[in-house]
Amino acid sequence: MIIDTPRQDIKNLDRATLQQWLQAQGEAPYRADQIWRWIYRDQVDTFDAMSNLSKPLRAALSNAFTIARLTLVQHEISTDGAEKFLFQLDDDRRIESVLIPERNHATLCLSSQVGCAQNCRFCFTATGGWERNLTRGEILAQVRDIKNHLSAPETLTNIVFMGMGEPLANYRNVVDAIQLLTDNKTGFGFSRRKITVSTAGLVPEMEALGRDTTISLAVSLNATDNTTRDRLMPINRRYPIETLLEACRRYPLQPHRRITFEYILLEGINDRPTDARRLAALLRPIRAKINLIPFNEHEGCRFRRPNEAVIQQFQQDLMDQGYTVIIRNSKGRDISAACGQLKARVEGFPKT
């Protein structure tokens, strides 16, 4: 009896595993680099297109593996140029990616999980719960597929892990994907300076990230006292502000690099002058810059965005203390901008 085993997405293999497979076929390990270049640089969809491989090797690859693409369920373009992609995975679960146009380049916001388990009270993705981690191949597929979508793929220069999920809760797959994203020889060749991982504050994984990579770190802080942060971000009960900021202080930064602290401004919760003063004092021992993010209101959420005068004053109070402070207004507000919102609109909003 012949048992038909499913083929594996080759993007889920690391180089060492692929080299072992090649050696079992009697092939030289360097073929792995050729295969990666075809997949990530040349964007081929079949092994038959890999013309510098022998026909028997191409046949063996086709029998063992796929070069999977994600299924595009919905694509929306905002009036400000932001593009939102809703992708379906092989198990019919769905994730979002967002392409953000800048003045002379584009930034891609990636998802790392289906849903999220951190349960931050202001986050729309949290309302749908956590389903599973994305594989290494599913993370890389977002980049590969969107580069393939672009008429000028070279304009995509920045990657941020700020989409659905907590990247550091899917640590191994995220770091493995980063290795291919920054591989100049056979991968995508992104600069390490232009890849940012955002975390709610998983301290042990932050410490590992500092050892394993030299990419940029962003920390979602959002409060200046533990009582408020406990209420907004349950992770704070495990790693309170003092523990989190001590890990940030010890984080190994490259010269001229700083940690980005993301601070979502919520009306009447964390937007007072006293909050700005405490934030400035808390970050003083750290090489820090601050992104202020006025809350993006979404269906079913009781939090509100502060008025413009309050936002501007909060920024000024921090700048007066010598910080670089950028106000990050959400792009794509006319196309379900909150992370997870397009998925919810297509599948049905979760009951709250």
Give the residue from 199, 201, 195, 200 showing the smallest Cα distance to 213.
195
Determine the Cα angle at 224 with ends 222 and 226, to 5°. 95
Residue tagged active-site, from 83, 96, 166, 205: 96
Token reading at 286: 């750290």
Q: Is 96 a catalytic residue?
A: yes
State residue 31 phi and psi, 5-degree precision. Answer: -60, -25
Across 263-286, b (16+ Cβ under 10 Å) vs e yields bbbbbebbbbeebbebbbebbeeb
Asked if residues 156 and 150 have their Cβ atoms less than 8 Å apart, the reply is yes
Give the residue from 219, 99, 212, 249 showing the smallest Cα distance to 163.
99
Distance of CA 320 to the CA centre of its chain: 31
Residue tagged active-site, from 109, 116, 123, 339: 339
Half-sphere exposure for 142 (CA within 13 Å, toward CB): 33
Euclidean distance between the first and final Cα of the chain, in Å? 51
* β-sheet bridge partners, residue 65: 8
- The residues assigned a catalytic role are 96, 339
